[in-house]
Amino acid sequence: MFQPFIRALVAFLILVSPLFATDLTYTFHYTGKPESPLIVDFRFRVDSSGPKQIFLPDQYGGQKEMWRSISDLEVVEGPIELKPGDLPSLRTIQMKGSGACHLRYAVHGVSGRLEQNVYYWPVLRGDYIHLLGKTFLARPGWPELQRLSVELNWQLPEGWTAGNSFGLGESTQNLSTSLFELQQGVYVGGDFRFRRFEIHGKPAAVALRGEWGFTDDEFAIFVRRIVTAERAFWNDDSFPFYFVTLLPVDIPPASFAGVGRWNGFAAFMPKGVGLDYSFRYLLSHELFHTWNPTKLSHSAGVPPTLYWFSEGFTDYYAYLLLMLERFETFPEYVDRMNGIIARYWTWATRNMPNEAAARLYYSNPEAQKLAYFRGMLVALNWNAAIREASHGKSSLNDLMRALKQRTEEKQEVITQAVLVAEAKRWGVVNADQQMVSWIDHGDTVEIRKDSFGSCATSSPRTGEAPQFRITSDMAPTACDRWFR
Ligand SMILES: [Zn+2]
């Protein structure tokens, strides 16, 4: 009498087993001994459909040859051989049959002090590790966005906790993810201190080490507040987990760096700094990259010719959201923008065409900063144009949310043409001419008199940067409606 049941069970198992099959397993072994590498084992199956190649870390944020951190890539077991590929970051898979493959390689950490741009390299120390997926994951050559069942195993020194963009404190993690998301993840372990909390019912955590001018709880509370604000802005709570790391590095006190990550971001700050405005600005900016450009472009980045948007619009919102969240007052915000307008006005590269600025982005700090200024001032202009065209009903914020919806629904990536089309739809009638002039040619971006609504105005000053002063005794909370 059990036979039908068993037959049904077998049929059921055959049916569901592909769901449980793991496409890719990584096992990370680290001893913490001086100079010891991180040993990575990874396993997947090959058949006639592929994969045909193995990809090593290559380029990221202007850094090249990141495969130099990887050595001793070998086939431990499986019906394949690895041959050199067309690039140093590629290996060609030569198949001798179908079946399971087991590959292994070593990851070497950056030595010495942790200087600027340390985030391009794996950090492997006696008491902790800090890695961005882009810097250390070798991977089969599957499509980056394909959904995969992935298992991560962490074999770390005793007492270490692993934390990453996918979870906290688990030595084995089973994920439904993609190669894109894995590479966008941040991975830590060791003497990081973790604080867990929830945002709209979804788990989140911060991981930090070292001494700071604030407590771990103060950091967690700030992160929670700004993440909540930015999710509310985008109307997007689709985050199974959210993870923010803070690593103390040996950079000058006034400098700071961060990179937006999948479901979070990694911040690198000079040891001991406090939770002051510049720190808050950094977190606000990096967090916004979760959407611009990551979600808007379905990839880690956009071409450098679009950095004026991905950095500039992000910067506009990094400052704006801190004001709207009452981390500074409306007059303080206007003052801050006056400072930025004044810097832009005398900026050496102010009228550099976009192509040239994009080409020099990673080698010329003034060309790099231009993308931030230019995009922010276009954003300020478009916000005013949309408010005017809609008689105060809409703002740039509506355009941004529409852009997210559009890129999601059409599986489209943002381009200058998409931005122009959306801007025109929201009432920026001259958006195409503006892009040709302000972006392509590099003409000075027009600062509209109504950039800050009716609460502030600028008096014309020939040849000098427009500067705004508060002219209204309206409550700041009424003034900031212009930006809501
Ligand atoms: Zn940025």
pLDDT tens readout for residues 354-374: 999 999 999 999 999 999 999
Position 21 scores a pLDDT of: 87
The model's pLDDT over 99-136, given as tens digits with 9 standing for 90+, comes to 999 999 999 998 888 876 777 789 999 999 999 999 99
Q: Please indicate whether the domains covering 22-110+131-180 and 192-288 agree at the CATH topology level.
A: no
Per-residue pLDDT of 130-158, as tens digits, reads 999 999 999 999 999 899 999 999 999 99
Q: Which residues touch 200 (CB under 8 Å, ≥6 apart)?
A: 228, 231, 237
Give the dihedral sign, CA 73/78/80/86. negative
The full set of domain ranges for the chain reads 22-110+131-180, 192-288, 291-483
**How many whole angstroms from 371 Cα to the centroid of ligand 1?**
10
CATH number for region 22-110+131-180 = 2.60.40.3650
The token pair at 30 is 């680290």
pLDDT tens-place string over residues 316-357: 999 999 999 999 999 999 999 999 999 999 999 999 999 999
* Phi, psi angles (nearest 5°) of residue 293: -105, -5
Q: Residue 18: its pLDDT value, please? A: 44
Q: Residue 268 and residue 278: Cα distance in Å, rounded?
A: 13
Ligand 1 centroid to Cα of residue 4, in Å, is 60
Q: Are 458 and 446 in contact (CB under 8 A)?
A: no
Query: How high is the mean pLDDT of the chain?
Result: 92
The average pLDDT across 212-227 equals 95
Phi-psi region of 104 (alpha: psi -120 to 50; beta: other; left: phi over 0): beta
Looking at residue 16, its pLDDT comes to 46
Q: How far apart are the first and last CA of the chain?
A: 68
Mean pLDDT of 172-182: 95
- Residue 405: is its pLDDT beyond 90? yes
pLDDT band with cut points at 50, 70 and 90 for residue 478? confident
- pLDDT of 477: 77
- Digit-coded pLDDT (tens) for 255-289: 777 777 778 889 888 888 999 898 899 899 989 99
CA of 40 to the centre of ligand 1 (A): 30
pLDDT exceeds 80 at position 2? no
* Structure-token pair, residue 166: 């996918």
pLDDT at 19: 47
Task: Give, for 161, the enclosing helix (H) or strand (E).
Answer: strand 161-164
pLDDT at site 1:
45
| C-alpha of residue 111 to centroid of ligand 1, in Å | 26
* Residue type at position 66: M
Q: φ, ψ for residue 34 (rounded to 5)?
A: -55, 135
What is the 324 CA–ligand 1 centroid distance (Å)? 20
- Does residue 275 sit in helix, strand or coil? coil
Give yes or no for a contact between 288 and 310, defined as CB atoms under 8 angstroms apart: no
pTM: 0.86
Q: How far is the CA of 48 from the centre of ligand 1 (A)?
A: 41
* Mean pLDDT, residues 161-165: 95
- Using DSSP's 3-state secondary structure scheme, residue 99 falls into strand
CATH superfamily of 192-288: Neutral Protease Domain 2 (1.10.390.10)
Considering only residues 343 and 200, tell me which one the structure prediction assigns the higher pLDDT: 343
**39 CA to centre of ligand 1 in angstroms:** 32
- Decide which of 378 and 121 is more confident: 378
The rounded distance, in Å, linking the Cα atoms of 258 and 283 is 8
| Phi and psi angles of residue 175, each rounded to the nearest 5 degrees, phi first | -125, 145
Predicted local distance difference test score (pLDDT) of residue 3: 56
Mean pLDDT of 442-461: 93
Distance 216 CA to ligand 1 centre (A): 24
Asked if the model's pLDDT at residue 91 lies above 80, the reply is: yes
